[in-house]
């Protein structure tokens, strides 16, 4: 089984780190970075020179196994291309750990969307992200840090974050970050898939996707729905597909049903959406809802 955006496992590990200065940042980051290096992760740290110098001192010879790009090389959560860049960090044969820092100029609304996209759609990725933020950031941006990270990196290791609020696409906040509900379609079986494809194509075009991007989004949502209604099993019918759009930015679809999407015979849960992911920015099977979420970007 994959693990969601909490502790270390096969899936996403999404950590916040609050600090006052370079020494404080390094004290919180070192336990996670050492654990990543011991586990054989690729480790990337994008930080200022003072922080890099202290990290090198703290890690000694192990620091040579870390890539230290300039901070601007790591795409920020508020950037439109953030969701694509996250997937580019992933390696098929090992985990990747990335440490970056919040700049004070990030728009809080767009930043919250990028962070929520990770938690809601990228929970299966073998990735650890450490998002570092100074405690003197603007209050609305600091609130994003506190609310969007399931766990916190601290000098004693990572701990649970009592302020974390999971992304809830069905509630007013942060549902609006995913865009307005453009269409809601009921799918009772394969006979309804043609109408679903038409709906997704129409909303994708209105959101700004074009050509192959529209076709890829339609295919990804179609395949997620097919998984849920195949074999004629009534326990996996009666689906609701909710299509949201942020024009010029993203198309977000949630396929929800009584029991979610079953894994194909002979495959583990990690393989359920393997053939869907190449056609979208992210796809995630959420057994707790249960639902499958598919995110496409303009």
What SS3 string covers 222-281? HHHHHHHHHHHCHHHCCEEEEEEEECCCEEEEEEECCCCCCCCCCCCHHHCCCCCHHHCC
Shared domain check, 212 and 132: no
Residue ending a domain, choose from 118, 138, 160: 160
Best CA proximity match to 97, nearest among 5, 7, 3, 12: 12
Which CATH number fits the domain that encloses residue 146? 3.40.50.300
Residue ending a domain, choose from 160, 187, 222: 160
Q: What is the mean pLDDT of the chain?
A: 81
Question: Is 166 a domain residue?
Answer: no
Query: Which residue reads 């700049």 in tokens?
Result: 103
Residue ending a domain, choose from 160, 192, 220: 160
- Calculated CA dihedral for residues 233, 235, 238, 243, nearest 10 degrees: -90
Q: How many domains does the chain have?
A: 2
Among 74-78, 150-154, 261-265, the range with the most confident prediction by mean pLDDT is: 150-154
Shared domain check, 84 and 154: yes
Question: Is 1 a domain residue?
Answer: no
pLDDT band of residue 266 (cuts 50, 70, 90) is: very low
Question: Is 6 a domain residue?
Answer: no
Shared domain check, 212 and 126: no
Shared domain check, 237 and 155: no
Question: Is 65 a domain residue?
Answer: yes
- CB distance 273 to 286 below 8 Å: no
Mean pLDDT confidence for 229-258:
71
Q: Residue 37: its pLDDT value, please?
A: 96
Question: Is 5 a domain residue?
Answer: no
Question: Is 94 a domain residue?
Answer: yes
Phi-psi region of 159 (alpha: psi -120 to 50; beta: other; left: phi over 0): beta
Shared domain check, 133 and 23: yes
Residue 226 tokens, joined: 């097919």
Mean pLDDT confidence for 168-188:
64
Question: Is 4 a domain residue?
Answer: no
Shared domain check, 111 and 51: yes
Shared domain check, 137 and 199: no
Shared domain check, 142 and 69: yes
Which CATH number fits the domain that encloses residue 209? 3.30.565.10
Shared domain check, 235 and 156: no
Shared domain check, 85 and 180: no
Question: Is 105 a domain residue?
Answer: yes
Range of the domain at 59: 13-160
Shared domain check, 150 and 34: yes
- CB distance 255 to 264 below 8 Å: no
pLDDT beyond 70 at 241? yes
- CB distance 282 to 274 below 8 Å: no
Shared domain check, 23 and 154: yes
Give the lowest-confidence range in 148-157, 182-191, 216-225, 235-244.
235-244
pLDDT band of residue 259 (cuts 50, 70, 90) is: low
Give the lowest-confidence range in 67-76, 182-191, 234-243.
234-243
Name the helix (H) or strand (E) containing 43.
strand 42-45
Distance between CA atoms of 283 and 83, rounded to whole angstroms? 11
pLDDT beyond 60 at 251? yes
pLDDT band of residue 4 (cuts 50, 70, 90) is: very low
């Amino acid at each position: 089984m994959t693990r969601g955006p909490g502790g270390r496992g096969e899936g996403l590990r999404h950590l916040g780190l609050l600090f006052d200065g370079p020494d404080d940042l390094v004290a919180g980051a070192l336990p996670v970075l050492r654990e990543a290096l011991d586990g054989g992760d690729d480790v990337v740290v994008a930080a200022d020179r003072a922080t890099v110098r202290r990290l090198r001192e703290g890690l000694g010879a192990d620091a040579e196994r870390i890539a230290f790009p300039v901070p601007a090389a790591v795409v920020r959560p508020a950037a439109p291309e953030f969701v694509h860049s996250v997937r580019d960090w992933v390696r098929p044969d090992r985990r990747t750990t990335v440490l970056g820092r919040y700049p004070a100029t990030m728009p809080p609304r767009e930043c919250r969307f990028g962070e929520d996209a990770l938690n809601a759609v990228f929970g299966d990725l073998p990735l650890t992200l450490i998002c570092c933020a100074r405690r003197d950031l603007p209050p609305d941006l600091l609130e994003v840090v506190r609310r969007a990270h399931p766990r916190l990196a601290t000098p004693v290791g990572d701990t649970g974050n009592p302020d974390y609020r999971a992304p809830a696409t069905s509630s007013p906040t942060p549902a609006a970050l995913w865009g307005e509900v453009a269409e809601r379609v009921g799918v009772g079986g394969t006979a309804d898939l043609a109408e679903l494809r038409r709906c997704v194509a129409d909303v994708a075009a209105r959101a700004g996707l074009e050509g192959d991007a529209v076709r890829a989004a339609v295919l990804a949502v179609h395949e997620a729905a097919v998984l849920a209604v195949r074999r004629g099993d009534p326990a996996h019918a009666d689906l609701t597909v909710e299509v949201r759009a942020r024009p010029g930015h993203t198309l977000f679809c949630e396929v929800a049903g009584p029991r979610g999407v079953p894994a194909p015979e002979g495959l583990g849960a990690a393989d359920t959406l393997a053939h869907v992911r190449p056609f979208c920015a992210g796809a995630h099977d959420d057994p707790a809802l249960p639902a499958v979420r598919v995110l496409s970007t303009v």
